[in-house]
A and B are shown apart, each in its own frame.
Chain A
Amino acid sequence: MNNRLIHWFKFASPQSFYPLAGKMIPWFWGLAAIFFVAGLYIGFFVAPTDFQQGEGYRIIFVHVPAAWMSMFIYLVMAFWAGLGLALNTRLSSMMAQALAPTGAIMAFLSLWTGAWWGKPMWGAWWVWDARLTSALILFFLYIGFIALQAAIDDARRADKAGAILALVGVVNVPIIYFSVQWWNTLHQGASVSLTRAPTMATTMLWGMLIMALAFWMYSIAVALMRVRAIILEREAHTEWVKELPEVKN
């Protein structure tokens, strides 16, 4: 039993995680490609048009997975940042730093596609309702985290400052998620939730879930690539990095 525990902690060191991440990246890229092709095919060619919105509803195949991802990545990022702050493990903070740009892109994508959908459907690009405003704050939190880390030269101090910001910002995630239940918002309620049957035709739902999987795989792949780059940068002074074939040549 103890052996297994040690086995897991081994990968908390950048030196052993670096090659492991390298081996995993192609798999996640492959899965992402498969899910993207399948999801987009279902989304554009198989799923029927909507009874009210016509073709415009197809935004959900990008908008919803991006919005889910932006919230979930924030939780994961805050988890790693908090772990780095509590246990002083270097790799945890690097993971948090690696996730932030992908989270920011997802948050931006959800806001952008939402605006495109909002103009024809609601009649406005943007409204200051609780869902939209809290999603915008999420985007600013990502940008703030990235800026704060970049502004402090000492990597360890940057990690600590960023972690505190990330942890405080976690409060925003449940606010985004439950905003449509707690207050009157222009944004519609959730069509898919863990507690109720989805209020969506089955093919539409499948397209959306497969696209969500594709976004997951993509996010993991780019985060691993980014964390490898961060490891090389931060551990450049160590012997094992200097001995790496890709660094030597």
Chain B
Amino acid sequence: MKPRHKRIALIVGGLAAVGAASALVLNALDSNIAFFVTPTEVAEGKAPKDQLFRIGGYVQEGSIRRDNLTVHFVITDTARHVPVMYNGILPDLFQEGKGAVAQGRISPDGVFQATQVLAKHDENYMPPEAAHAIEQAQKAQKTLQQ
């Protein structure tokens, strides 16, 4: 083997080792890298108790209720849901049926007391007319099914 080939082999081997090591580390850290837990995970007891954590999912349709500055809403992942209470300003994109992430802790009565609420945006970009057309089409679909 020429010295040059040895060097290339060494570099490739080194890179493979670094790659394998990071794959293992990432695998071990998997659950800790998650930015939020879902309502299902909360129901399964995977959320930390007596500690701040973030819960994420969709804001359930028709669940937003305001009383003065306090906002009540329900975060759902369609399987399970968690009621949330928040006192503060909501971001522009916070809407019913859209994604949201709340930070806080669960009180003994099962209500999530949020200290911060973030809106999670999805990857769909379209003009308002297109969004309206899709909405109309979905409504028509529903009427047909009934």
Contact = CB atoms under 8 A, between A and B. Distances in A.
Interface in B112-146: 116-132
Contacts of A121: 91-93, 119, 121
Given A186-B101, A199-B123, A51 B128 contact: yes
Contacts of A204: 125-126
Interface in A123-170: 123-124, 127-130, 167-168, 170
Contacts of B132: 51
Contacts, number: 120
A115 B33 CA distance: 20
A144 B125 CA distance: 36
B119 A171 contact: no
B32 to A, nearest CB: 9
Interface string A190-202: 1100000001110
Interface string B19-47: 10010001000100111111000000000
Chain A, interface size category, equals: 35 or more
Interface stretch (B7-15, B58-66, B68-76): B7-15
A122 B120 contact: yes
A247 interface: no
Given A184-B36, A188-B120, 10 more contacts: A49-B127, A86-B8, A87-B4, A121-B91, A122-B91, A122-B120, A183-B33, A186-B36, A200-B124, A201-B127
A41 to B, nearest CB: 18
Main secondary structure of the interface of B (DSSP, over half): mixed
Main secondary structure of the interface of A (DSSP, over half): loop
A113 interface: no
A175 interface: yes
A87 B11 CA distance: 11
B104 interface: no
B35 A122 contact: no
A130 B54 CA distance: 14
Nearest to B130: A201
A-B pairs, 9 with minimum CB distance: A123-B91, A48-B127, A51-B131, A129-B35, A200-B125, A191-B123, A184-B34, A51-B128, A201-B126
Interface string A50-90: 11110011001000000000000000000000100111100
B35 A183 contact: yes
A167 B60 CA distance: 46
A191 B22 CA distance: 27
A120 interface: yes
A53 B93 CA distance: 7
A204 B126 CA distance: 8
Given A170-B15, A171-B19, A120 B92 contact: yes
Nearest to A57: B125
Contacts of A15: none
A189 interface: yes
Contact of A123 (B36, B56, B118, B122): B118
B54 to A, nearest CB: 9
Contacts of B120: 122, 186, 188
A153 B10 CA distance: 25
8 contacts: A50-B126, A52-B93, A120-B91, A123-B116, A129-B35, A167-B11, A183-B33, A191-B123
A57 B36 CA distance: 24
A186 B35 contact: yes
B18 interface: yes
B118 A49 contact: no
Contacts of A85: 7, 11
A246 B121 CA distance: 53
Contacts of A57: 125
